[in-house]
Structure 1
């Protein structure tokens, strides 16, 4: 089996034209066409069908592509593992994380690691938590910083820290001058929350349920920054991450120092005191390459358990 043929088949099946694939490989279009034809002959079934200028995978092609993707991913993993075995301190760490960790937690994790391994490199992927687990499952990232602990079979999750959630209210709100409130004091207020299925949305709903009410949802958003903006415009209240936990051993005290900036007052909440559990996740049955394993071990040593 020709790995180059698999890569060209993968590219075309993913939507590239044969011309684009040939140009990227710096070869002629007929070479790609003949190589794909040989691959079909070797597999024993038509893998691609033409429609206009493009080729699309047949039913057999879609089936075959799943295995081709796996073969190529494992081959690339093997090359990377050998490279990192020879030079572990310069290896690549594919790291996924939720959007809300991009301004404080992930930079601290990386900067702390680079103090020990200055030659390390990172491939960073941001996403909402449901898609983040899919990215982790596909092998696009080796590790993911997520909250709360995902209920996914085979996924190993280690707690790093507990991050309190604060009540965000519009400027001039009746509670804006308070340092602490009970959650029931906003039971009749409109809430601004993330979309259903996101971890923070689940935590907010559970906290309200524990306080004895169901939140009246006024607006839904995809990012915490959007929620903050909606609250600032007077469109509701929200429970938002502090983005400023106590820093762990070996990391600077500047993490999240700017969480209170802006015009939206943030107030501590009691009865209950909502919080989210943040941790590092990886699939236990998938061996981590040396660089990713070294980063994981460094983080777990640095953060108190």
Structure 2
């Protein structure tokens, strides 16, 4: 089997059309179809079946795709490791992180690392917790900065800091003039939450339960800044991290008041994670040590630095 044919098969199995894959590969569509047919002959069973204008994997194809993906990822990681061994100054660090960390935590970490390693490249990906954890497990990211991974068997998670969550309310709300609040006082308020599958959604529901109520959910979103805008528009309240300063200065675009919660521990942990059973390439290993050393030093005063790891 040729590695390139396996890559083409993975693209098609992941939803790309034969035409799109052939164009990217700069070969003709019939040539790609013949290559995929040869692959099926080698495997001994059909891997793809036609569904309208696209090909979809058969049950055997889905199983084969899983193993092919792992093999190609390991091959690519091997190439990276050898390249960095030969020339460690020109490595690549694939890093995934939560959307909310892209404006304040990740930029100074990357910038300060590149002062000492100016030739190292970064591949940056922003997602929710479930997606970045999957990228780590699949090998698309060497490191992730996220909420706790809750005991994933292959992941080591090291706490970097504890981030406060504030009850964010609309301007003019009956709570807007206050600095502090018991979360229990918001039991009758409409809540705006992230969709299911996000750790902040789970944490919000858990904190509300600790305060003695189940939140009445009126809107669900996929990004914290969308939730913040919905609150500012008067559509409900939300437990959100405070807006962060950027290189341009403090964030002054958020008119929604932020209230400190006093009756429950309204915080979320943030940390760095990597695969326990995989040795990182030199550049990623160096960046891991940089983050573990530097992250608590660049956090704002309203954060509490943490330590320790959870396998």
Do they superpose with TM above 0.5? Answer: yes
The answer to which of 108-117 and 159-168 deviates more is 108-117
Match of 2:25 in 1: 25
Structure 1 residue 46 corresponds to structure 2 residue 46: yes
Q: Pick from 269, 275, 280: which aligns with 1:277? A: 269
The answer to which of 64-73 and 134-143 deviates more is 64-73
CA contact (8 A) 2:103 2:246 kept: no
Match of 1:191 in 2: 191
CA contact (8 A) 1:163 1:277 kept: yes
Q: Pick from 278, 284, 287: which aligns with 1:292? A: 284
Match of 1:248 in 2: none
User: Following TM superposition, by how much is the alpha carbon of 1:20 offset from its aligned partner in structure 2, in angstroms?
Assistant: 4.0
The answer to which of 258-267 and 160-169 deviates more is 258-267
Match of 2:68 in 1: 68
CA contact (8 A) 2:149 2:155 kept: no
- Indicate how the Cα distance of structure 1 residues 71 and 180 shifts in structure 2: closer, same or farther if over 3 A, else same: same
Cα distance in 1 for residues equivalent to 2:128 and 2:249? 23
Structure 1 residue 2 corresponds to structure 2 residue 6: no
Q: Pick from 243, 251, 256: which aligns with 1:264? A: 256
User: Following TM superposition, by how much is the alpha carbon of 1:254 offset from its aligned partner in structure 2, in angstroms?
Assistant: 6.1
The answer to which of 270-279 and 176-185 deviates more is 176-185
Say which SS state the counterpart of residue 165 (structure 2) adopts: strand
Post-superposition Cα deviations, 1:4-48, rounded to whole Å, max 9, x if no partner, equal 222233333334444544433333445434433433333333334
Say which SS state the counterpart of residue 235 (structure 1) adopts: coil
User: Following TM superposition, by how much is the alpha carbon of 1:169 offset from its aligned partner in structure 2, in angstroms?
Assistant: 1.1
The answer to which of 2-11 and 163-172 deviates more is 2-11
Cα distance in 2 for residues equivalent to 1:15 and 1:205? 35
- Indicate how the Cα distance of structure 1 residues 119 and 215 shifts in structure 2: closer, same or farther if over 3 A, else same: same
What is the TM-score normalised by the length of structure 2? 0.85
CA contact (8 A) 2:47 2:58 kept: yes
Cα distance in 1 for residues equivalent to 2:150 and 2:243? 20
Cα distance in 2 for residues equivalent to 1:207 and 1:260? 28
How big is the alpha-carbon RMSD for the aligned residues of Structure 1 and Structure 2? 2.5
Post-superposition Cα deviations, 1:207-237, rounded to whole Å, max 9, x if no partner, equal 2222233322222222111211111121221
Match of 1:223 in 2: 223
Say which SS state the counterpart of residue 213 (structure 2) adopts: coil
Task: Tell me the matched-pair count.
Answer: 297
User: Following TM superposition, by how much is the alpha carbon of 1:165 offset from its aligned partner in structure 2, in angstroms?
Assistant: 0.9
